[in-house]
Structure 1
Amino acid sequence: MEIIGYLGLIGSVALLIWMALRGVDIMFAAILSALVVIITNVMPLADSLLTGFAAGPLGAFTFAGKFFFLFAAGAIFGRAMGDSGAAASIAMALVRKLGADKALIITTLACAALTYGGVVVFVVIFAVYPLGLQLLREADIPKRLFCAALALGAGTFTLTALPGTPSIHNAISASALGTSLTAAPGLSLLAAAVMIGLGIWYLEYQRVQAKAAGEGFVPGPRDVLQEAADDNLPTWGAAVLPLFVVIGLIISPRLVPSSGGQLGELMAFAGSQPIMWPSISLGIGTILCLGLFRNIRETAFTTLGNGTNDSLMPMLNSAAIIGYGGVVVQTAGFQQFGDIVMNSGLPPLLSLFGSISIISAITGSASGGLQIFMQTMAQDYIAMGLDPEVVHRVATVAAGGFDSLPHCGAVITMLTITQLTHKEAYRDTAVITVVIPVIATLTIMVAATLGVR
């Protein structure tokens, strides 16, 4: 029976990937894969589904409840930036500065600015894609590379590396370890530099290769191409102000010295709330957008309501994958996996890297992998003598590597929006979201060993 249980675990992951590659809804795929684990490991059906999958410590709705306000605040802010034209204004300013032939770099920078400001990845993809089409047509760049640029700007260094990023991944680690969103800033900046440097080099290399091979832009059947116009967009200065305010508020606990009085109390509160403080910061950014941009002030409730709806599918997709992981961690096979890695004799950082990478690969989710790792293994590594800030940063960056296998919900969503298949675009995306983050993780592991914090 033990062998059947192991085969069930492996088979469930294979099934999850297979369904993802065929476009099956990720929530259904997660539930079906969890059932495979339950049946092959002879687990109690009701308890495994209601507690393990749905409402346990690693349950889908436990996760959704804990992070609902952060998802919603990010999506609402993203709507406000998108509907007001502020996001397009930022991108158009970059076009004027860099030129349309730098479309991939522009896409990366625009996505990075939005996600570092707290906008949910899925919202960024929707917001940037229409403008990206115009840039691709002007520069005659293949859409597969636009996917990779989207992934670099919205799904790598701004989610796991940059100090203070309000991403779910950073918040999960901070909440579990009692660290701040700016934990290990030296390692954060180093990891981000590696991802940005290698990512931009790869994109530009592939762009030159594609041009030499005669490969250019081909629109999808549902793509709507219009002449880009920015006459009615907010000014660039007004557009970036909400982003600066949100980022400044989020990192303020690290920058403002501790002191008495109301400011000191506010900073103490901010530093102790890795989930609510970025949510509040994003809410303030949204209020600023409503004050600055009259076009969304006139339809404020529509914008706010649509933003809240934007958060639901990303949150539920992530929650479903975490629910699947919540079932997996209850199996004897997972418990034995934990014992094996803890007693492997490997250096603690290398063992940590292997643990979080495997869990993220199984779940196809960096946030899911982090949630499981932080709940089941993180304290064991701290007990081995690792600095909590190092555990925070290395685990967070590592989770953003093997999570991006074909069954990753963000990858599936991006390919769906851009009307491309895994065969057409996944290779470039995998280099950006798997290979390069792994290199970045190994780099900061070496730096942490040398004492960099």
Structure 2
Amino acid sequence: MSVILILIALVLLIAGAWAGLSVLVLAPLLAALAAFASGMPVLAGYTQVFMAAAGGFVVAFFPLFLLGALFGKVMEASGAAERLAQAIAAAVGPANAMLAVVLACAVLTYGGVSLFVVAFAAWPLARALFAQTGLPARLIPATIALGAFTFTMTALPGTPSIQNAIPMATFGTTPFAAPGLGVIAGAVMLALGLGWLRYRARALAGEAPPEAPDGPPRDRPLPLWVALVPIASVGIGTLAMGVLVLPALETGYLALPLYGATDLSRVGGLWSVIAALGVALALALALSRPPRLMAVLNEGAESALLPLFNTASLVGFGAVIASLPGFEMLRASLDGLSGGNVVVAAALSSGALAGITGSASGGMSIALDVLGPSLVAQATAQAVDPALLHRVVAVATGGLDTLPHNGAVITLLGICGMTHRQAYADIFMVAVLGPTLACALIMALGIAFGSF
């Protein structure tokens, strides 16, 4: 019965999100209903389980959401994001409009710009290119999703995304964990996604394109190098902090209870991304000098809150679900499917929780909080490189997370003026099916050849 309650809660969460109800309302309400039906004290479940998990996520990852949003807002307000997108579109040519949008989104997200900000920044470019080439308007959300929600979010080594940062504390890894497998997974996602979009463009030939945007072009665009330098600094800074700067510092004080009785291997990856985003933000401010600086910073800080609390709310929902008796049954079933292989177990458990919560970072946080020590112990016993688990968990959660109740999907559809019925099927193909197949491939390669 408890398993049925979990499935009902998930279906209601998806249905409510499909109808447009905020997950800030849906998640605690459905968690309370599931807790009540399972015999858990509702108020205790809310304050001690839901809020503890949601608050823990905010405490752990608020700096990344804040710095990412500030950086993205500065890039947007200064025109740097638009300049990069235009340069990429010009380089690949108007005949490759979908590829141009995908690459523009990929460069921005891999450079540290929040995918929510990228969705806003890419919409004007996509609308103009699709209008010029007569491509169907309904493919714009899937095109943006392919560039922003898939390979740059979970697969490519060094990406500063929150999804690539969360596994570092559990596995003691860096943002560059299993780089070869990450590149393979990213290439598969990109190839499958572009193949589907091109097939759909042919199938929908003759369907109405979007209306061309109004307004004069931006005067005196930024030099391209001004837009490129802050983006490039994120990857370079992350690598330099992890390889050169942090290992040279004396960090023995981290063993003190005041600092969580930890060590550099557990926090170094997160510190590297925080420092790199801080440097990138400073460079963007110094080079691009956006107008209305105080307003831009205020808007950027505020724009971090909704995605942060949407995700935290889904983390809280998932934590309540994970505390119910039915979840242990589901977990046991997944363990049975894994055949005792820690790589398969990590992928199944984290992917399932990402689907339940509708959030890659949320599902990953719960899975690693609950199962992390067990996975590390199994990896040690089976001589599995933790870097392999890092990459597999990241890619696994970047598939089923993009179900209809995903906050980024809801935001993207709203930006593009589309409904789930119009555009979600194509989002599913490029951001759920493609990443899931890529995950299966790198799991097989990792089991056969190890991490590389």
| TM-score when normalising by structure 2 | 0.91
Matching of residues 282-297 of structure 1 within 5 Å: 282-294=277-289, 296=290
Distance 1:99-1:259 versus aligned 2 partners, 3 A rule? same
Distance 1:270-1:9 versus aligned 2 partners, 3 A rule? closer
Cα deviation per residue 1:291-325 (whole Å; 9 max; x = unaligned)?
1123x1x5222111111111110001101100101
User: How far does residue 65 in structure 1 lie from its aligned partner after superposition?
Assistant: 1.7
User: How far does residue 61 in structure 1 lie from its aligned partner after superposition?
Assistant: 1.5
Q: Identify the range of structure 1 (100-109 vs 338-347) with the bigger mean alpha-carbon deviation.
A: 338-347
Matching of residues 29-108 of structure 1 within 5 Å: 29-55=26-52, 59-108=53-102
Query: Which of 243, 247, 260 is matched with 2:235 structurally?
Result: 247
Residue pair 1:250, 1:277 contacting (<8 A) in 2 also: yes
| TM-score when normalising by structure 1 | 0.91
Distance 1:196-1:256 versus aligned 2 partners, 3 A rule? farther
Residue pair 1:174, 1:180 contacting (<8 A) in 2 also: yes
Q: Which residue does the alignment assign to 1:274?
A: 269
Query: Which of 374, 380, 396 is matched with 2:374 structurally?
Result: 380
User: How far does residue 48 in structure 1 lie from its aligned partner after superposition?
Assistant: 0.6
Residue pair 2:18, 2:404 contacting (<8 A) in 1 also: yes
CA distance in 2, matches of 1:277, 1:422: 38
Q: Which residue does the alignment assign to 2:106?
A: 112
Give % identity.
35
Residue pair 1:149, 1:203 contacting (<8 A) in 2 also: yes
Q: Identify the range of structure 1 (301-310 vs 377-386) with the bigger mean alpha-carbon deviation.
A: 377-386
Distance 1:110-1:271 versus aligned 2 partners, 3 A rule? farther
Matching of residues 323-402 of structure 1 within 5 Å: 323-344=316-337, 346=339, 347-384=341-378, 385=382, 386-402=384-400
Q: Secondary structure, in 3 states, of the residue corresponding to 1:273?
A: helix
Matching of residues 8-23 of structure 1 within 5 Å: 8-23=5-20
2:289 is the alignment partner of 1:306: no
Q: Which residue does the alignment assign to 1:130?
A: 124
Residue pair 1:183, 1:392 contacting (<8 A) in 2 also: yes
Residue pair 2:127, 2:210 contacting (<8 A) in 1 also: no
Q: Which residue does the alignment assign to 1:151?
A: 145
CA distance in 1, matches of 2:323, 2:137: 42
Residue pair 2:17, 2:410 contacting (<8 A) in 1 also: yes
Residue pair 1:116, 1:158 contacting (<8 A) in 2 also: yes
Distance 1:432-1:80 versus aligned 2 partners, 3 A rule? same
Q: Which residue does the alignment assign to 1:216?
A: 208
Distance 1:272-1:363 versus aligned 2 partners, 3 A rule? closer
CA distance in 2, matches of 1:209, 1:229: 33
Cα deviation per residue 1:53-110 (whole Å; 9 max; x = unaligned)?
102xxx1121012111100000000011000000111111122222223221111111
Residue pair 1:86, 1:239 contacting (<8 A) in 2 also: yes
CA distance in 2, matches of 1:191, 1:230: 37
Residue pair 2:143, 2:197 contacting (<8 A) in 1 also: yes
Distance 1:416-1:6 versus aligned 2 partners, 3 A rule? same
Q: Secondary structure, in 3 states, of the residue corresponding to 2:401?
A: helix
CA distance in 2, matches of 1:324, 1:245: 36
Residue pair 1:134, 1:228 contacting (<8 A) in 2 also: no
CA distance in 1, matches of 2:133, 2:76: 24
Distance 1:380-1:271 versus aligned 2 partners, 3 A rule? closer
User: How far does residue 269 in structure 1 lie from its aligned partner after superposition?
Assistant: 6.6
Q: Which residue does the alignment assign to 1:321?
A: 314
Opposite residue 409 of structure 2, the aligned amino acid is V
Gaps of 5+ in 1: 263-267
Query: Which of 182, 186, 195 is matched with 1:188 structurally?
Result: 182
Distance 1:332-1:242 versus aligned 2 partners, 3 A rule? same
Q: Secondary structure, in 3 states, of the residue corresponding to 1:14?
A: helix
Distance 1:209-1:228 versus aligned 2 partners, 3 A rule? farther
Matching of residues 429-444 of structure 1 within 5 Å: 429-444=427-442
Residue pair 2:242, 2:269 contacting (<8 A) in 1 also: no
User: How far does residue 257 in structure 1 lie from its aligned partner after superposition?
Assistant: 9.5
Alpha-carbon RMSD? 2.1
Q: Which residue does the alignment assign to 1:265?
A: none
Cα deviation per residue 1:343-393 (whole Å; 9 max; x = unaligned)?
556133333322222211111111111011111123323323232111111
User: How far does residue 179 in structure 1 lie from its aligned partner after superposition?
Assistant: 1.0
CA distance in 2, matches of 1:316, 1:137: 35
CA distance in 2, matches of 1:176, 1:258: 18
User: How far does residue 261 in structure 1 lie from its aligned partner after superposition?
Assistant: 7.8
Q: Which residue does the alignment assign to 2:224?
A: 236
CA distance in 2, matches of 1:375, 1:259: 26
Residue pair 2:239, 2:272 contacting (<8 A) in 1 also: no
CA distance in 2, matches of 1:416, 1:260: 47
Residue pair 1:164, 1:181 contacting (<8 A) in 2 also: yes
- Equivalent pairs counted in the alignment come to 434
Gaps of 5+ in 2: 251-262
